[in-house]
Amino acid sequence: MRSYRGERLGKLIQEKIGTLIVEGKVKDHRVDSFLSITRVDVSRDLSYADVHVSSFKSEDGLLRGVEGLESASGFIQAKLASLLRVRQTPRLRFHADPGPREAFLLNQKQASLHQTYAND
């Protein structure tokens, strides 16, 4: 069971990293504004944060973006340390989350099938 404090910290980390990405503060060329943070799972002892990243670009673009975020994790963690009021900033671990893109593609396929059968 996740703690309330861990959930709050996860939401805050999600918001702050998303803002850094959108504002272009992460200077790695693999990180672009099409990346979005879908969720952040903070460990019980608040020492690690698993950051799940999604994109509507290709899967290869998503994996490159995750690599860029991993490369910039020190910078991102330092920014979080200055923005958050916690004793110890969790270490960030980035993971690709293909779920939202796959759901979008599935929805498109369903819409095209619906359109096909509606015309018959």
* Contacts (Cβ under 8 Å, ≥6 apart) of 70: 94
Query: Which pLDDT value is given to residue 2?
Result: 59
The CATH number of 4-119, from 2.60.40.1190, 3.30.300.20, 3.40.30.10, 3.40.190.10, is 3.30.300.20
Closest CA to 33 of 45, 47, 23: 23
Residue of 46 and 115 predicted with greater confidence: 46
Query: Which pLDDT value is given to residue 116?
Result: 78
| pLDDT greater than 60 at residue 1 | no
| pLDDT greater than 90 at residue 115 | no
Contact 27, 72 (CB under 8 A): yes
At 6, the pLDDT band (50, 70, 90 cuts) reads confident
- Widest distance between CA atoms in the chain: 63
Segment 55-81, tens digit of pLDDT: 877 888 889 999 999 999 999 999 999
- Could you tell me what percent of the chain has a pLDDT over 70? 96
| pLDDT greater than 80 at residue 100 | no
pTM: 0.80
Query: Which pLDDT value is given to residue 58?
Result: 82
